[in-house]
Amino acid sequence: MSLIDRELFSIAFKNLKGRRLRSFLTIFGIVVGIAAIVALISIGEGLNQSVTDQFDQLGTNTIMILPGGGFVESVFAKLDDDDVDLIENVKGVDFAAALYITGLQVEYKGEMKTVIAIGIDPEKIEQLGFIGIANLEEGRNLTPHDTTAVVIGSKFGDRIIKDDIGLKQSLNVNGNKLRIVGILEEAQNNFAGMFNTAITMNSDTLKDFSDTKITPFRIIVKALPGEDIDELKERISNQLERDHDKKDFQVMDLQQISEMAGSIVGMISLVLIGIAGISLLVGGIGIMNTMLMSVLERTKEVGVMKAIGATTPRIISIFVVEAGMIGLVGGAIGLLLGIGAAGIVSLVAELTGLPLTAVVTPTLIIGALAFSMGVGMIAGVYPAIRAASVEPVEALRYE
Amino acid sequence: MEKPVIRVENVSKIYDMGKVQVKALDGVSLSVYKGQFLSIMGPSGSGKTTLLDVLSALLRPTKGEVFVNEKPISKMDDNQLAQVRGKTIGFIFQTFNLIPRMSALENVMLPLWFAGKPINERKEIAEKILGEVGLGQRMNHKPNELSGGQRQRVAIARALATNPDVIVADEPTGNLDTASGEQILELISQLNKKQGKTVLMVTHESEIAERAHETIFLRDGKIVKNKKNETRRTKK
Ligand SMILES: Nc1ncnc2c1ncn2[C@@H]1O[C@H](COP(=O)(O)OP(=O)(O)OP(=O)(O)O)[C@@H](O)[C@H]1O
Ligand SMILES: [Mg+2]
């Protein structure tokens, strides 16, 4: 006779259905614990993946210059247009290109939309292909003489305009026609990802369109082959600092960018591990408590089941599986919340330019559900043993 | 000579209540044979339920030995005992004791699950027996959607599910009105007469007891009288 079969689960399910989960508190701990774990693992996995992507795609000879030194100044500090030339003259630099970014009001088929517009020096657009930026899918790329031509990201039509806008169509900005000449292929790495939903154009045109003065959002630098990256960063940093009279910028290589993301994730992880641990403990105790109450309430029932032939392992299995199912319900809710939380973290990361997209794998989903069921089952062991130790005669006399 | 299905030898059940000892059973010996219909009578507290519990291998006596099909239960552990009960004995309780969350059908299937029968067999047997006790149309009802008499029929069907040799019933009509009580008694008598089930039944009323072949009278845990009801007796 096998102990685990369909009946066991259907009976456990019936027992659960029959009573309202004593209060949301019973599963609250499990919900929070599993949510924290799912968020943690999916973010960690995402970080891992995006770091690998960055290295694969951007290579190790890429340096990025960001405005701002410390945290506070970063809002006010600005890079200059001239910085690009300055950096290109530093020994060991292959080339440097500035990226500008701003929101633009465009009109398409009579509707106004706010879109993200990226400005780039058309002479350098081809060269940026190596970091996964501005590789062409259809049409042609920007050329140095283009002023009103734009290329659009692969998801621009879908997500932003909500129309299958394509080549030869145009967008209006303050009465100026912007012709779409090319569609970019989908960028895979996180940094280049911002091109997917944006329009990209000549940076001079972009500056003309903007009411306020726009300055480089990032300067991307490619080192000559064989250059020592640390030394090159040092030279660039010194050069810029001399020019700006202060260090109101950051020079980072990809290692540092991913470390930055890593340290933030590390901090989140620590908090989440703490929350998860405590919550699961609380959740386990909650389930144990509910199950103990349930055992008390069902003493007579257990007596009847023993009288009509249920063995001790059978009774234990019934209660353990029931507890496991409570855990599973909590785990399923927690899983959804965790995926949601990870999604929000990814969104925030995307907005702040950190290379991070949470990844929810099937293994994680199954693992989280199995784990929550496991926690429930473990919490159910003691109540189940209590139930199974009921003396049938006494239970039957129990009122 | 035929072997008894259940035999108790000089059994006592003593509850130690600290200051006093309660002798619920006091040196009772009894053999129950296949096909026998035995009723147990006696004043409240005389040990009727206790004797029935001991006879049905639900309760281990303090002294003496219980034999089920001539096997001593003192040599079995609790799980073996549960399985022996599941196979040999069907229980009918005064308060029905159905599982409230399960339908009639599921309640009847339960002992078959405990006995390790596969699902399709469980369903087939349970449906057949529920039909036999007249509940073919009520199989998917929960206990609280059934009348007392109907509930007791479900309980009888559950007791019959594993096709046990012995049916034990502790005041099976105690919670029923006269009419449905009468029907339940008739059903139990039929089980004895038509299917040859051994029936052990505790009752307060002598009219009910008269349906049995034999009535045992208990007082203070002892058998004080043993009356054969010749008119009803078929054999043995
Ligand atoms: N678990 C127990 N602990 C202590 N005493 C008990 C226990 N169970 C039964 N007794 C005592 O044993 C005696 C016999 O009880 P039992 O239930 O067998 O009587 P009964 O004849 O079935 O009574 P009734 O007609 O009221 O059902 C009673 O005095 C009762 O109080
Ligand atoms: Mg009694």
The ligand 1 atom at the shortest distance from the C-alpha of residue B46 is 21
Picking from A192, A217, A242, the residue at the C-terminal end of a domain is A217
Run of H or E including B230: none
Cα A280 from chain centroid (whole Å) = 23
Residue A189 to residue A131: CA distance in whole angstroms? 8
Q: What is the mean pLDDT of each run of 10 residues along chain A (399 residues)?
A: 77 72 73 90 78 63 78 66 88 89 85 87 79 77 85 82 80 85 79 82 86 86 86 89 85 74 74 85 90 91 94 95 92 94 85 74 93 94 94 85
Residues of B in contact with A393 (CB under 8 A): 53, 58-59
Phi, psi (rounded to 5 degrees) for A218: -145, 150
Most B CBs within 10 Å, among A308, A312, A399, to test the B interface: A308
Question: In angstroms, what CA-CA distances link B95 with A39, A78, B171, B176, B197?
Answer: 51, 84, 9, 9, 22
The one-letter amino acid code at A303 reads G
Which is nearest to A381 in space by CA: A311, A282, A280, A284? A284
Residue A181 counted as domain residue: yes
- The packing angle between helices A362-388 and A312-352, to 10°, is 150
What domain range includes position B55?
6-228
The contacts of residue A143 (CB under 8 Å, 6+ apart) are A122, A149
The pLDDT assigned to A22 comes to 58
Same-domain check for residues A122 and A25: no
Whether B84 contacts B73, CB under 8 Å: yes
Could you tell me the CATH number of the domain that includes residue B140? 3.40.50.300
Tens of pLDDT, residue by residue over B40-63, are: 999 999 999 999 999 999 999 999
The pLDDT assigned to A335 comes to 95
Listed in sequence order, the DSSP H helices in chain B are 48-55, 78-88, 104-114, 119-132, 148-160, 178-195, 206-209
Same-domain check for residues A267 and A390: yes
The contacts of residue A111 (CB under 8 Å, 6+ apart) are none
**Å from A368 to nearest chain B CA?**
30
Residue B234 counted as domain residue: no
Residue A222 counted as domain residue: no
Residue A171 counted as domain residue: yes
Q: Whose CA is nearest to atom 14 of ligand 1?
A: B47
Residue A253 to residue A121: CA distance in whole angstroms? 22
Q: Is A393 on the interface with B (CB under 8 A)?
A: yes
Whether B114 contacts B78, CB under 8 Å: no
A139: β partners? A182
The mean pLDDT of B75-89, rounded to a whole number, is 93
Residue B48 counted as domain residue: yes
Residue A213 to residue A208: CA distance in whole angstroms? 9
Which is nearest to B189 in space by CA: B199, B180, B181, B202? B199
Residue A370 to residue A201: CA distance in whole angstroms? 50
Is the CB of B231 within 6 Å of ligand 1?
no
Residues of A in contact with B113 (CB under 8 A): 7
What domain range includes position A344?
6-55+259-396
Residue B222 counted as domain residue: yes
- The packing angle between helices B78-88 and A312-352, to 10°, is 110
Residue A69 to residue A73: CA distance in whole angstroms? 6
| Nearest chain B residue to A394, by CA | B59
Tally of CA atoms within 13 A in the half-sphere of B50 that contains its CB: 26
Residues of A in contact with B169 (CB under 8 A): none
Sign for the pseudo-dihedral over CA of B128, B129, B130, B131 = positive
The pLDDT assigned to B235 comes to 43
Tens of pLDDT, residue by residue over A95-111, are: 899 999 888 888 888 88
Same-domain check for residues A314 and A378: yes
Same-domain check for residues A275 and A390: yes
Compute how many other C-beta atoms are within 10 angstroms of the C-beta atom of residue B15: 11
Same-domain check for residues A273 and A382: yes
Residue B143 has pLDDT above 90, yes or no: yes
> Per the CB < 8 Å rule, is A308 touching B158?
yes
Same-domain check for residues A32 and A112: no
Residue B68 has pLDDT above 80, yes or no: yes
Q: Is A314 on the interface with B (CB under 8 A)?
A: yes
Same-domain check for residues A204 and A269: no
Residue B114 counted as domain residue: yes
Give the number of A-B residue pairs with CB atoms closer than 8 Å: 69
Average pLDDT of chain B is 92
A213 SS3 class: coil
CA angle A278, A279, A280 (to 5 degrees): 95
Whether A355 contacts A52, CB under 8 Å: no
Beta strand pairing call for A176-184 and A170-173: antiparallel
Q: Residues 39-58, chain B: which have Cβ within 8 Å of A?
A: 53, 56, 58
CA-CA-CA-CA dihedral for A226, A227, A230, A233, to nearest 10: -150
Residues of A in contact with B100 (CB under 8 A): 18
Tens of pLDDT, residue by residue over B6-36, are: 999 999 999 998 899 999 999 999 999 999 9
Residue A239 counted as domain residue: no
Residue B214 to residue B30: CA distance in whole angstroms? 12
Rg (CA), chain B: 18
Residue A226 counted as domain residue: no
CA angle B200, B183, B43 (to 5 degrees): 45
Same-domain check for residues A281 and A332: yes
Sign for the pseudo-dihedral over CA of A183, A184, A185, A188 = negative
| Strand ranges, E, within chain A | 62-67, 93-108, 111-120, 136-139, 149-152, 170-173, 176-184, 199-202, 218-223, 249-253
Is the model more confident about B66 or about A132? B66
Residue B76 has pLDDT above 80, yes or no: yes
Residue B193 to residue B185: CA distance in whole angstroms? 12
Tens of pLDDT, residue by residue over A195-225, are: 888 889 888 888 888 888 888 888 988 888 8
Is the CB of B21 within 6 Å of ligand 1?
no
> Per the CB < 8 Å rule, is B53 touching A393?
yes
Number of domains in chain B: 1
Number of domains in chain A: 2
The pLDDT assigned to A51 comes to 65
Compute how many other C-beta atoms are within 10 angstroms of the C-beta atom of residue A232: 21
A186: DSSP letter: P
Average pLDDT of chain A is 84
Residue B164 counted as domain residue: yes
Residue B236 counted as domain residue: no
| Nearest chain A residue to B84, by CA | A309
As given in the structure block, the two tokens for residue A21 are: 């989960």
Percent of chain B residues past pLDDT 70, beyond the cut:
97
Picking from A197, A217, A237, the residue at the C-terminal end of a domain is A217
The one-letter amino acid code at A191 reads F
